[in-house]
Chain A
Amino acid sequence: MNTSIWDWTVVEDVIPLLLKGFAVTLLATVVGSVIAILLGLLLAMARRAPTRLVRVPVRAFVEFVRSTPLLVQLFTVYVLLPSLSPFVIGASVLGIHYATYMSEVYRAGIDGVPKGQWEAATALSMPRGRTWQAVILPQAVRNVLPALGNYIISMFKDTPFLAVITVHEMVFQAQEYGSDHFRYLEVFTLAAAIFLIASYPTSLLVRRLEKRLGH
């Protein structure tokens, strides 16, 4: 057995495996993002509902999810719903977890739309749904796009938590390879490098978007 600190044959050996895991990581991020972006918006709008019957429970849900750790949520749902595949649970819980954070971002964006916009829509007899769709959301979402982008990057970096419920994402693969071959340094360094290569350019993109929107 090779006893040097860094073994390039390990690198060669593990890269295909890590990339296979990375595909799962990406898919979880995409599915999670779609859930977070849509559900987050829905939660933010529900917190502006005309009736307390909607506002209060939604607010309680958001606070609950935000004040408990993602890891605990993953475990709990995994144990409660054994019939669902780990990936479905992982991506959904990730998405719901981040939806509550994004709902706060949306809420700030919605609150940032001047009251006069609502009043103008009322003065034109526009129904509530149309007011949201045509007037409020286009202005609110534009202002918070960079913040949403940053949360997607955070979510991407939180995908390794899915390993604990046996989702075969990249860190799970790294862990398995490591324990099988007793080589951890190469695999985890590579995994970190892959995360960096993916998230750094994305964060640069978000920063450019921020500049363009004049933040």
Chain B
Amino acid sequence: MVLFEQVVKRFGSNIVLDHLDFSVAQGERVTLIGPSGSGKTTILRLLMTLEKVNGGVVYVEGQPLSHMKRGSQLVPANERYLRTVRKKIGMVFQQFNLFPNMKVLDNVTEAPIHVLGLSKEEAVDRAKQLLDLVGLGDRINQHPTSLSGGQQQRVAIARALAMQPDVLLLDEVTSALDPELVADVLNVLRDIAQSTTITMLIVTHEMQFARDVSNRILMFDKGRIVEEGQPDKIFSNPEHERTQTFLRAVLEER
């Protein structure tokens, strides 16, 4: 489903991803953990085409995402190509990034109508269903600014799902929330993980959540994967010293 092949990403002289190879299977839920600055969020941003690779190729469903084919050659993707491939991917951001000038309902119907070409009725039906799913069916006519952070984030989840992406990227979706609002958002995501087969890449500091929903954990440090495995194994019995110290630090914080 998702394949990173020798991917390099630099910001200036800072190497964020260092010849990274990994893949995620269709329907798999993979959580990326590791200290900040280890490249987790950059991976999601590369997949969402918000950043460009400096080397290597990113594939989604066997199709290059960072590049496009010209003859038998792969050349860096242009904007028009990106527009066609990024539809397969949806993203939920740490800061929600809802459109404050639109009502909740319009936030969720905007792209289905104007990108997928759904009729207004179809898009509204779909949006209402999703907003019910995230527990905000009664807030469709409000503006995002009148909602709590947790509610805004649930709208953002509905908005991403309304595009019916194959891959959902969750970038520290609870990090900006007050502690008492975190549970609602995570419960919604647990429901979605259980009731759909959508592929998920998750960056989070919520280790219990990662344990509950993930099939696999990737531990990152300095732009490389230092350890990977099933959640039980990683959380109960990490092998790599870097993983042990990281988990100890994160779990002690709670």
- Point out the residues of chain A lying under 8 angstroms from B100, CB to CB: 139
The answer to whether A16 has its CB under 8 Å from any CB of chain B is: no
- Tell me how many residues of A have a C-beta within 8 Å of chain B: 19
Decide: B48 and A122 in contact? CB cutoff 8 A: yes
Segment at the interface with B among A57-65, A127-135, A200-208: A127-135
Q: Which one of A122, A127, A138, A139 contacts B49 once the chains associate, using CB atoms below 8 Å?
A: A122
- Point out the residues of chain B lying under 8 angstroms from A116, CB to CB: 93, 95, 97
- Point out the residues of chain B lying under 8 angstroms from A165, CB to CB: none
Query: Most chain-B CB neighbours within 10 Å: which of A114, A119, A120, A134?
Result: A120
- Point out the residues of chain B lying under 8 angstroms from A130, CB to CB: 114-115
- Point out the residues of chain B lying under 8 angstroms from A127, CB to CB: 83, 114-115
Q: Which one of B83, B90, B102, B114 contacts A123 once the chains associate, using CB atoms below 8 Å?
A: B90
Smallest CB–CB gap between A115 and chain B, Å?
Answer: 9
Decide: B86 and A120 in contact? CB cutoff 8 A: no
Measured CA separation A149–B93 after assembly (Å): 36
Decide: A120 and B97 in contact? CB cutoff 8 A: yes
- Point out the residues of chain B lying under 8 angstroms from A122, CB to CB: 48-50, 86
Q: Which one of A114, A119, A123 contacts B160 once the chains associate, using CB atoms below 8 Å?
A: A123
Q: Footprint of B on A, CB under 8 Å? A: 50, 114, 116-117, 119-120, 122-128, 130, 134-135, 138-139, 142
9 interchain pairs, CB-CB under 8 A = A50-B79, A114-B95, A123-B48, A123-B90, A124-B90, A125-B86, A127-B115, A134-B114, A135-B99
Q: Footprint of A on B, CB under 8 Å? A: 48-50, 79, 83, 86-87, 89-91, 93, 95, 97-102, 110-111, 114-115, 159-160, 163
